[in-house]
Amino acid sequence: MEKRKIGSLQVTVAGLGCNNFGWRIDAAATEKVVNAALNAGINFFDTADMYDTGHSEEFLARALGNRRKSVVIGTKFGMKMGEGKEGARPEYVRQACEDSLRRLQTDYIDLYQLHRPDPNTPIAETLGALDELVKAGKVREIGASNFSAEQIREAESAAAGRVRFVSVQNEYSMMHREPEDEVIAECGRLGLALIPYFPLANGLLTGKYRSGQPMPKGSRGDTGFGPKVFTEENLALAGRLAEFAESRGHTLLELAFAWLLAQETVASVIAGASQAEQVRANASAVDWRLSAADLQQVDRILGKVKAA
């Protein structure tokens, strides 16, 4: 599978989002998903300390076993993990890192990401703590998540010769194009990799949802997850995108991946999965290369869609 750079890291263009581990699937099911990812050639696993309050990291470590050194692990800190355990204060950054290292059963984190900006802590202080972790060999590269273009610029300026963010993980898909306003341009200017989350728009772009048809039982649409996404307007738009993909011998899922990977700053598409079959479908979806004419046609279909 093709690989792209996140700083010094080489990651596969299809990654595995580990947000389902724990709260949606147990340790045994997690192992099946992780094994399917490895067998499909995926080397990038993205998790966070707050995914099921640490169980995602624990389940990932258990599933990887002695294969840890052959993969790239990204995790995050900053969301609330308990009383006084949130944010990006230097002392908490150090504690959160130690906690994640323990749960991941590793002595280093490949990509350590600030899950969201902390308005109560100057970014220079956070970067100072992260710089210490990199120099200590506990972290290889650092990234940001849910940052605006202005916050990206502020962080770059505050780095001042110390370790700097090499990636930005924001929501981005054909149904949510907000990063195109400023963030993508800033990533390009600074040489930062963009890691889109919710690349399938909470499942809307998997192809299993159709306008005028009942939601698949037990699916996110059926259970009310992401109600803003599953509108009749969006379902109709997804239907038109599916028709375009099928006219070229591909699926809507493959189009969702191909469209993101056609954006120069995107390094890896990290879709979550709760079953091995989903991982295999995601891994095979990266083979389609959209032509300039294809991209123009998709843009015409999307029109002025900016957010789901």
Active site residues: 51
Going by C-alpha positions, the residue among 27, 82, 24 that lies closest to residue 50 is 82
* Residues contacting residue 136 through CB under 8 Å, at least 6 positions apart: none
Q: What's the CA gap between 276 and 90, in Å, rounded?
A: 39
Which amino acid would we find at residue 103?
Answer: R
Is the distance from CB of 120 to CB of 87 less than 8 angstroms? yes
Three-class SS state of 277: helix
Going by C-alpha positions, the residue among 307, 13, 308, 6 that lies closest to residue 181 is 307
The torsion region of residue 79 among left (phi > 0), alpha (psi -120 to 50) and beta comes to beta
Residue 158: how many other CB atoms lie within 10 Å: 16
Q: What's the CA gap between 16 and 60, in Å, rounded?
A: 11
